[in-house]
Amino acid sequence: MRPFQPVRGTQDLLPDVARRHRRVVEKARAAAELYGFVEMATPIFEFTEVFARPIGEHTDIVVKEMYKFTDRSGEELTLRPENTAGVVRSVISNGLAQHVPLKFFYSGPMFRYERPQKGRFRQFHQIGVELIGVAQPQADIEVIALGNRILEALGIGERVELELNTLGDPESRISYRRALVTYFSARASELSEDSRRRLERNPMRIFDTKEKADQRVTRDAPPFADYLSSESREFFYQVRTGLDRLGIGYRLNPRLVRGLDYYTHTAFEFVSNDLGAQGTVMGGGRYDGLVELMGGPALPGVGWAAGIERLTMLITTPPPPSLIALVPIGEA
């Protein structure tokens, strides 16, 4: 035990680092305000169910990574591993669903128990936005455009690339899930133990694997595009057309997925080649089923989150504030 050392996976934000963190948040906040997003904050811990229900009882985040504890009154609580679920809980519990569209910006610490790596900590910090109540693709275009503007404001727009995919509507996902189960079941002996578990629960999450053997199997998996409904194709076309009109470049990545069932349609990530394996600096998507899953009305939503630590690794350190000293030359 080393009581006078920081806990593994945490860090002190000393002045140079704190200035870079502040620069990211301030640039993001200013851009979000231009797009009509208002700042809000949720508690850093919630009832465990707030995260366990939408993320999934059997996912790695819930089973292995969440900081859970029981307080003195016997309540099961969890430090937030991400903030979308907390924002949705706030919308429901504060009766905000009747005031849509809702456009929120947030920043703050998140917590996950995972192996610390470059740019990844057990206490880490995020900025993020959520746009709730707009079903049309214009909402997807708007949040992506805002993310792009923030990255450009930080001076790193040329160092990142937008990757884009569609997850279709629920009907498309059901059809695709059947195709994946058939394909991966035939090659189950080639999959890792984790991927075999994912095959039983949510086969789309196999595409998230980091195992080389699993990645070889996924290369020949059937493409999602073959199972998209006409409505899903049109929605994705509108998103791409909107980005084209704004001059925002992107690369289609058919292997970019969000494994949770409430995600639909657009999935996207801004990725940098300058951070090694941890290249994603901002990621998000549309989550039309989440509010209803958490007990609220059937409201659509789309948003993203970005890791402040990863962004600070790409930006230049702002200079310290200039100091002016008044030097007395006598008692008077």
72-126 pLDDT tens trace: 999 999 999 999 999 999 999 999 999 999 999 999 999 999 888 777 899 999 9
- Is pLDDT larger for residue 3 or for residue 8? 8
Q: For the residues 190-210, what does the mean pLDDT come to?
A: 83
How far apart (Å, rounded) are the C-alpha atoms in residues 99 and 118?
41
Tell me whether strands 45-47 and 76-79 are parallel, antiparallel or unpaired: antiparallel
Q: What are phi and psi of 313, to 5 degrees?
A: -75, -15
List C-alpha distances in Å: 30 to 26, 110, 146, 299, 319.
Answer: 6, 22, 11, 27, 20
Kindly indicate the confidence band of residue 156, based on its pLDDT and cuts at 50, 70 and 90.
very high
Return the pLDDT at 262: 79
Kindly indicate the confidence band of residue 213, based on its pLDDT and cuts at 50, 70 and 90.
confident
User: Which of 33-37, 184-188, 190-194, 311-315 has the largest mean confidence?
Assistant: 33-37
Q: For the residues 269-285, what does the mean pLDDT come to?
A: 88
Return the pLDDT at 259: 62
Lowest mean pLDDT among 137-141, 181-185, 199-203, 227-231: 199-203
Return the pLDDT at 201: 78
The three-class DSSP label of residue 72 is coil
- Is pLDDT larger for residue 38 or for residue 275? 38
Kindly indicate the confidence band of residue 238, based on its pLDDT and cuts at 50, 70 and 90.
very high
Kindly indicate the confidence band of residue 247, based on its pLDDT and cuts at 50, 70 and 90.
very high
- % of the chain with per-residue pLDDT over 70: 96
Q: How confident is the prediction for the chain on average, in pLDDT?
A: 91
How far apart (Å, rounded) are the C-alpha atoms in residues 112 and 64?
9
- Helices (H), strands (E): how many in the chain? 11, 11
Return the pLDDT at 1: 58
Q: Where in the chain is the domain with CATH 3.30.930.10?
A: 15-168+253-312
Return the pLDDT at 64: 78
Q: For the residues 244-266, what does the mean pLDDT come to?
A: 88
Kindly indicate the confidence band of residue 215, based on its pLDDT and cuts at 50, 70 and 90.
confident
How far apart (Å, rounded) are the C-alpha atoms in residues 53 and 261?
11
Return the pLDDT at 202: 80
Instruction: Count the neighbouring beta carbons within 10 Å of the beta carbon of residue 246.
Output: 14
CA nearest 146: which of 42, 30, 310? 30
Q: Is the pLDDT of residue 62 over 80?
A: no
Domain 15-168+253-312 architecture: 2-Layer Sandwich (3.30)
List C-alpha distances in Å: 282 to 77, 92, 135, 188.
Answer: 27, 26, 22, 32
Within 8 A by CB and 6+ apart from 139, the residues are: 101, 131, 286, 300, 302
For residues 87 and 46, is the Cβ–Cβ distance under 8 A? no
Q: Is the pLDDT of residue 198 over 90?
A: no
How far apart (Å, rounded) are the C-alpha atoms in residues 188 and 165?
26
For residues 184 and 221, is the Cβ–Cβ distance under 8 A? yes
Q: Which amino acid is at 61?
A: I
Helices marked H in the chain — which ranges?
Answer: 15-34, 48-55, 60, 84-93, 137-153, 170-186, 193-201, 212-218, 230-246, 290-293, 308-312
Kindly indicate the confidence band of residue 278, based on its pLDDT and cuts at 50, 70 and 90.
low
Return the pLDDT at 116: 82
